[in-house]
Structure 1
Amino acid sequence: MDWLFLILAGIFEMMGVAMINKLHKDRNWQAVALLFAGFGLSFFFLALAMKSLPMGTAYAVWTGIGASGGAILGMLVYGEPRNVSRIIAIAVVLGSAVGLKLIG
């Protein structure tokens, strides 16, 4: 269950980051509410996951999901550049998080 909580924390982290971008473009109360909800739920689920997962592993996976997911959302939703270098960098971030899990 701890890994499910951690994955949910990462997904809500992505939502919070996406809402920061939306807030810069739209400036409305819905974006603010979703931003706070996203980050609030992200921290809530991260705290639940860290009850049984080591801090270093949980934090690395959480930030990996958030950073990679944010970059992928930027490419798919906000028209950010898609190139091989960015995709390799995303793979390295995800691979590092998986590596920490495997050796920890």
Structure 2
Amino acid sequence: MAWTSLILAGIFEMFGVAMINKLHIDRNFKALGLLILGFGASFIFLAYAMRTLPMGTAYAVWTGIGASGGAILGMLIYGESKDWRRIVFISMVLGGAVGLKLIS
């Protein structure tokens, strides 16, 4: 259950990052509310996961999902660069998160 919570925390982190960009574009209360909701849910799920998982592993996986997911959302939704080198480094971040799962 801790790993499921950690993955959900990462997904909400991605959502929060997307809402930062949305707030930057639109400047409305809906985007602000969704940003607060996304990051709030992310922290709650992260805190729950850290009851069982080591702090270093949980934080590394959480930030890895958030950072790589945010970059992928930027490419898919906001038209950011899809350069092959960028994709390779995103894959490396995700590979590190998977590696931490395998050894935990």
Confirm or deny a common fold (TM above 0.5).
yes
Deviations 1:57-97 (A, max 9, x none): 11111001000100000000000010110100100101111
1:38 alignment partner AA = G
| Percentage identity across paired residues of the two chains | 73
CA RMSD of aligned residues (A): 0.8
CA separation in 2, counterparts of 1:75 and 1:55? 30
* Structure 1 counterpart of 2:3: 3
* Structure 2 counterpart of 1:39: 39
Q: Return 5+ residue gaps in structure 1 as ranges.
A: none
* Structure 1 counterpart of 2:16: 16
Q: Where does 1:1-104 land on structure 2 (aligned, <5 Å)?
A: 1-104=1-104
Aligned residues: 104
1:41 alignment partner AA = A
CA separation in 1, counterparts of 2:79 and 2:93? 21
CA separation in 2, counterparts of 1:46 and 1:83? 31
CA separation in 1, counterparts of 2:56 and 2:10? 15
Q: Return 5+ residue gaps in structure 2 as ranges.
A: none
1:3 alignment partner AA = W
CA separation in 1, counterparts of 2:18 and 2:60? 20
TM-score of the superposed pair, with normalisation by structure 1: 0.96
